[in-house]
Amino acid sequence: MGVEGRAAWSAAMRPMRARPRVAAIAAAVIVAAALVAPARESEAALPAVVDGQPMPTLAPMIERATPAVVNIATEGHVQMRLNPLFNDPFFRRFFNIPDQLPERKTQALGSGVIIDSSRGLVVTNNHVIANADQIRVKLRDGRVLEAELVGSDPDTDVAVIRIPPKDLTALPLADSDALRVGDFVVAIGNPFGLGQTVTSGIVSALARSGLGIGEYEDYIQTDASINPGNSGGALVNLRGELIGINTAIFSQSGGNIGIGFAIPVNNVRQVVDQLVKYGQVKRGYLGVELQDLDPELAQAFDITQTEGAVIVSVAQGSPAEKSGLRQGDVVVAVNGRAVRSAFDVRNQIGLTRAGDNLEMEIVRDGGRRRINSEVSERESEQAATGAATGVRNPALSGATFSDIPDGIPEYQGESGVFVADVERGSRAWRSGLRPGDLITSVQRQRVGNLDQFLELVQGEGDQLLVGVRRGNGAAFMVLK
């Protein structure tokens, strides 16, 4: 997808939070009701039996599933967005502007799903509880409970909260890998803050990615009506088993047009296990750079495969190198799932827990082979590649750095330090640093390599003036 195309997708993706439209909706409902003549009781009742057969209904399944779906309301504070000049401490000092930027109060409505009644665990979307100082959960029976945050993962948009484990109902988890396009599904949530609502549809597509919604994308697409406020709600099959967590819609108006997306429950399960155990996700690392396989590359490699990911480079000492992966290998499947692009491989690596194995099917020299790799933690990644994590400067918190890797043409021949990764929401991220940036100077001193960079930042305070190259552009940035 091109830059303009991805921008259009990102602009069209609407967070599914309620907006203050309840009064307007209620008025519309009242007007609509006034236009319809009331039906007589005999006309309104449907027969319980037709031709000796009971009328089909989802009511029994809905009655079992809805107690496990909750409404979530949050309150919090965020810093107000001001002119970028306010980030400059010299500008603030000159105009006597306080260091503490003004904040505004935030409120959000969403949904959640009880997945463990004995421990009171509720799964929802990260964007539902982000920046929340207070989280309230309303159960189907009317109880309102205070919740605590167990952990959240912005990259997958999954969060876990905990409520008192008393008289709770949990949804059983299905196997989302068994889903097929055309399977019937039901969405349960809290659209527009109206209260618990149930809609139905089918699975429209599977393994949707490259949408610009999150860092790791592998979505179920459905035409079951999903609207703002459904975020974090349940997508269930006709047995009342959880198959996905509703997270986003594609819409130009903010309302449902039949294109909704849910995180598959198998992916949710992997993230939740780590959030409950560690409070965060310890992402796996393999140590490869990849690019999409296209017809031109396929011809150059003399292979008939048309979809896959080409390994551009393998980091020295990395799990990939230890397992025997090589530059030029074409990855066509990971853990039995077909690979269409480099994005698919990155997704699988990122969703794999450190210490687990990845089985990769590759094409090399015209033949196919399987290679097992044990992914490592991020810390192991940096030791293997000569990158630095946990740099002792608060302004760089959340960022990982390395010498300039091979396979990035625009930076070849340059001097500086490559930004390998930046955790979303971290201090470095909030200052504007992004993966792929090249830091060329620190405090106006030229940076030649990683070792020099570490020396420059270790002795400085918690605010850094850095020169940054991003693609073909360059700018100074204040990290604090």
Parallel/antiparallel/unpaired status of strands 158-162 and 184-189: unpaired
3-state secondary structure of 248: strand
Report in angstroms the alpha-carbon separations of 73 from 26, 108, 112, 190, 220.
Answer: 20, 6, 10, 10, 25
194-197 contacts, C-beta under 8 A, 24 or more apart: 194/22, 194/25, 194/229, 195/71, 196/66, 196/69, 196/71, 196/140
Say how far apart CA 243 and CA 179 lie, in whole Å. 8
Catalytic residue from among 111, 231, 341, 397:
231
- What Rg, from alpha-carbon coordinates, does the chain have? 25
- Are the beta carbons of 73 and 145 closer than 8 angstroms? no
- Are the beta carbons of 468 and 476 closer than 8 angstroms? yes
* CA 476 centroid distance within chain: 29
Catalytic: 157? Answer: yes
Say how far apart CA 291 and CA 202 lie, in whole Å. 33
End-to-end C-alpha distance for the chain, whole angstroms = 34
Sequence-ordered list of residues with C-beta below 8 angstroms from that of 63, at least 6 positions apart, any chain: none
Tokens 């108006």 — which residue? 253
Catalytic residue from among 155, 157, 218, 403:
157
Catalytic: 231? Answer: yes
DSSP state of 321: H
Sequence-ordered list of residues with C-beta below 8 angstroms from that of 445, at least 6 positions apart, any chain: 456
Parallel/antiparallel/unpaired status of strands 234-236 and 184-189: antiparallel
Sequence-ordered list of residues with C-beta below 8 angstroms from that of 133, at least 6 positions apart, any chain: 75, 76, 77
382-389 contacts, C-beta under 8 A, 24 or more apart: 383/317, 384/287, 384/315, 384/316, 384/317, 384/318, 384/319, 385/287, 385/315, 385/316, 385/317, 385/318, 385/420, 386/450, 387/420, 387/450, 388/450, 388/453, 388/454
Catalytic: 77? Answer: no
Catalytic residue from among 111, 127, 329, 397:
127
Say how far apart CA 338 and CA 363 lie, in whole Å. 13
Report in angstroms the alpha-carbon separations of 255 from 28, 55, 58, 236.
Answer: 15, 31, 25, 21
Query: Of all helices (H) and strands (E), which one includes residue 435?
Result: none
Residues forming the active site? 127, 157, 231
